[in-house]
A and B are shown apart, each in its own frame.
Chain A
Amino acid sequence: MANNTNVQIDVHHITRVEGHGNIKVDIKNGEIKECKLEVVEAPRFFEAMLRNRHYDEAALITSRICGICSVGHQLASLRATEDAFGITQSRQEKLLRRLLNCGEYFESHVLHVYFLAVPDFVGVKSVLPLVSTHKDVVIQALKLKKLGHYVGDVIGGRLVHSMASNVKAMTKVPTKAQLEEIILKLKDAKVELQKAIGTLKSLKLPHFERETEYISLYQEGEYALLEGDIYSSDTGLSSYKNYRQLTNEYLVDHSTAKRAKHNRQSFMVGALARFNNSHQWLSDSAKQAAEDLGLKAPCYNTYLNTVAQFVELFHIADDSIAAAEELLNMTLAVEDRTIVPKAATGVGVVEVPRGILYHEYAYDDKGYMQKANCIIPTGQNLNNIEDDFRALLLTIMDKSKEEITLMLEMMVRAYDPCISCSTHILNVEFVE
């Protein structure tokens, strides 16, 4: 490598990601002087919003941290409150939450794979030019996204900021006809996804490898998304209650989002981490899709996070068909759980599309929020993104500035970051 390489990159407000972030790179004489992902989103102070609010508003408020992970925030929030007050979920409640979560994964993964990531591989700036060149793919994507919204509407009243996710239990139940419709649509979706495998295979994903620590929710025997403990590929299993030891948040100057580290300087969360840690429990069709797409665990190519998301859609379709079929055989009625608040602390952990999410609440004896802490996946990934940048830059330094910039942007997009979310981590912490 020529050591007279000088490159300066300054991408202001990366596009096709949720939220505002900048990339800054400075290479002098072949040496990386600076390499950062800056988070410049305005802080929102969710802790101030939650303080002294009643427990039945926690999910309503935290849902608004993020539009694309709103279901995940609600479910983590409900889990945290349930954990604090010692409330258990009925089978019906668990199955309904699985379906609502399915809606969010379809919306989010399809948006990311088709609208945000794929344009790079085709060499266009957005999904819009694809309307004329790949109309069938765009229509397929819209249909799959719509499926997410349909399931969200039926189970949650709507997908973005569902009003049915309530601490007393879901405020509505689907009819048999709606459940049958969901099953039918999910089966159709699997056919559509199957068709897309060929297209996805033909796309050239960059070669890149850097082994890192992978952290995800973990439950023996299932591809854990909504309950379980925490698994690290470096250190194994930890209780969900010990999430702070897995995150160790700290601040840096160039970011309004907190950073996290565990066993090393950085770790990765998200679809690739879930795949690496729990692939053995994917459904058969998801395993087949992974094989067809050449995705093998453990996979150290960050760019393949997008492929792992696609594979997950098969699993989520299968898992949701099973959930809907089980609900069909039950007599459903709106539940009204009795809640007795107490002065206590609870932790809720779920996997949102872009990685593991933690909510922790402390309530007083009347059920008013005293303390809250939410740790969002993108914040956990920030160090890993910068470490990937460094490793990648060493191999592409001699390319043109435009090519390097694109490779870095694609790297950020591969994480499917939710920057608007990640800054809220910082905002949701309050320390007494």
Chain B
Amino acid sequence: MAKPKVAFFDFSCCEGCQLCAIDLTPEQLLDLIAVIDIVEFREAISEKSDAYDIAIIEGSITRDSDIPRLKKIRETAKLVITLGACSTIGGINALKNFQSKYAYQSDVYPTDPEKYETTTARAVHEIVKVDAFIPGCPIDTGEFVRVVKNLVLGRDPAIPTYPVCVECKKNENICVYEKGIQCLGPIIRAGCGARCPSNGGYCFGCRGVIPEPNLNSQQDIMQQHNLTFEQMKDKLKLFLQRNKEVFSDGE
């Protein structure tokens, strides 16, 4: 069987997920290039190709002029996978969406606000069909390798649907709320190994919400710890502007 041809594409982002995708051990790299053929990866290789089976897309869509390129990728690829928070859920780029376009444009280019094209920052699935998502800001390298391997073998990508709290408990961490700090762990998708709370941080939602998040119960937890719903909403703004369950008034 011919190895599937894989191409990487980036839109508006920091390209950190591509870096994590190539943060491989020699064994992982050899394993991966044994099952796939990387034909385009602008950040790391000079070849460019119009023939590929799997497109891995990083970054949010923040310009209308990027849409034809995205649609062409969708038409060409049999499988479209998003890589990281920006392409999967809109991510940090969508934080600007809370302000009017003119407001943020004139912040940046006071003398000529409309000089550069920009629009509402969106996730890839809002524009074209996506077959699999690799969440996170940044992605987890192990999860990336596992998802790509599973998909090539025709299996389910196996991204958890339970919340970060499950992994956090497994790591035997003291609950972040006990320290008086808010944490989005109860409603955010696991799979990161609860990395932030396990390293002295808190969950700020980079992997997106779980299916049917219980926002009311999250609100109760906040109240029990003398934190307000407004504080939670403000924290959710960092990565989740595009989530309709969280921000129903999103564009």
Residue A116 interfacial (CB < 8 Å)? yes
Q: How distant is B171 from chain A, measured CB to nearest CB, in Å?
A: 12
Residue of B nearest to A41 (CB): B12
Q: Say which residue of A44, A126, A146 sits within 8 Å of B23 (CB atoms).
A: A146
Q: Which of A62-70, A190-198, A209-217 contacts B (4 or more CB under 8 A)?
A: A62-70
Q: Say which residue of B25, B44, B118 sits within 8 Å of A16 (CB atoms).
A: B44
Residues A160 and B204 in contact in the complex (CB < 8 Å), given A44-B62, A67-B15, A131-B33: no
**Inter-chain contacts of B33 with A (CB < 8 A):** 128, 131
A420 touches B15 (CB 8 A): yes
A125 touches B47 (CB 8 A): yes
Per-residue 0/1 for B102-138: is the Cβ within 8 Å of any A Cβ (1 yes, 0 no)?
0111011110100111100000000000000000011
Residue of A nearest to B28 (CB): A142
**Which chain A residues in 168-218 approach chain B with CB under 8 Å?**
170-172
CA distance A48 to B109 in the complex (A): 12
**Inter-chain contacts of B88 with A (CB < 8 A):** none
**Inter-chain contacts of B104 with A (CB < 8 A):** 45, 47-48
Q: Which of B159-167, B193-201, B214-222 contacts A (4 or more CB under 8 A)?
A: B193-201
CA distance A60 to B92 in the complex (A): 10
**Inter-chain contacts of B195 with A (CB < 8 A):** 157-158, 163
CA distance A138 to B200 in the complex (A): 35
CA distance A43 to B62 in the complex (A): 8
CA distance A28 to B116 in the complex (A): 31
Per-residue 0/1 for A45-86: is the Cβ within 8 Å of any B Cβ (1 yes, 0 no)?
101110100000100110011111010000000000000000
A143 touches B23 (CB 8 A): no
**Inter-chain contacts of B47 with A (CB < 8 A):** 125-126
**Inter-chain contacts of A170 with B (CB < 8 A):** 200
B200 touches A61 (CB 8 A): no
**Which chain B residues in 1-31 approach chain A with CB under 8 Å?**
10-20, 22-26, 29-30
Residue B35 interfacial (CB < 8 Å)? no
CA distance A131 to B34 in the complex (A): 12
Residues A45 and B108 in contact in the complex (CB < 8 Å), given A160-B16, A163-B201, A420-B14: yes
Interface size for B (C-beta < 8 A) is 59
**Inter-chain contacts of A427 with B (CB < 8 A):** 108
CA distance A308 to B18 in the complex (A): 25
Q: How distant is A227 from chain B, measured CB to nearest CB, in Å?
A: 24
CA distance A420 to B58 in the complex (A): 13
Residues A164 and B108 in contact in the complex (CB < 8 Å), given A43-B116, A68-B15: no
Residue B146 interfacial (CB < 8 Å)? no
Residue B82 interfacial (CB < 8 Å)? no
Residue A388 interfacial (CB < 8 Å)? no
Residues A142 and B66 in contact in the complex (CB < 8 Å), given A45-B107, A48-B103, A420-B14: no
Q: How distant is A376 from chain B, measured CB to nearest CB, in Å?
A: 12
A145 touches B199 (CB 8 A): no
Residue of A nearest to B91 (CB): A64
Residue B93 interfacial (CB < 8 Å)? yes
Residue B43 interfacial (CB < 8 Å)? yes
**Inter-chain contacts of A61 with B (CB < 8 A):** 92, 95, 238
Q: Say which residue of A17, A67, A156, A431 sits within 8 Å of B18 (CB atoms).
A: A67
A127 touches B45 (CB 8 A): yes
Residue B244 interfacial (CB < 8 Å)? no
A142 touches B24 (CB 8 A): yes
A160 touches B138 (CB 8 A): yes
**Which chain A residues in 394-422 approach chain B with CB under 8 Å?**
420-421
CA distance A15 to B12 in the complex (A): 16
**Inter-chain contacts of B95 with A (CB < 8 A):** 48-49, 61
Per-residue 0/1 for A11-54: is the Cβ within 8 Å of any B Cβ (1 yes, 0 no)?
00101111100000000000000000000011111011101000
Residue A429 interfacial (CB < 8 Å)? yes
**Inter-chain contacts of A60 with B (CB < 8 A):** 204, 238
**Inter-chain contacts of A158 with B (CB < 8 A):** 138, 195, 199
Residue A297 interfacial (CB < 8 Å)? no
Residue of B nearest to A15 (CB): B46
Closest 8 CB pairs of A and B: A67-B16, A171-B200, A157-B199, A126-B45, A48-B104, A163-B201, A48-B96, A125-B46
Known A67-B19, A126-B44; further 17 A-B contacts with Cβ < 8 A: A15-B42, A17-B43, A42-B62, A42-B66, A42-B117, A45-B105, A45-B107, A47-B107, A48-B107, A49-B92, A61-B238, A64-B137, A107-B19, A171-B201, A172-B199, A420-B14, A426-B109
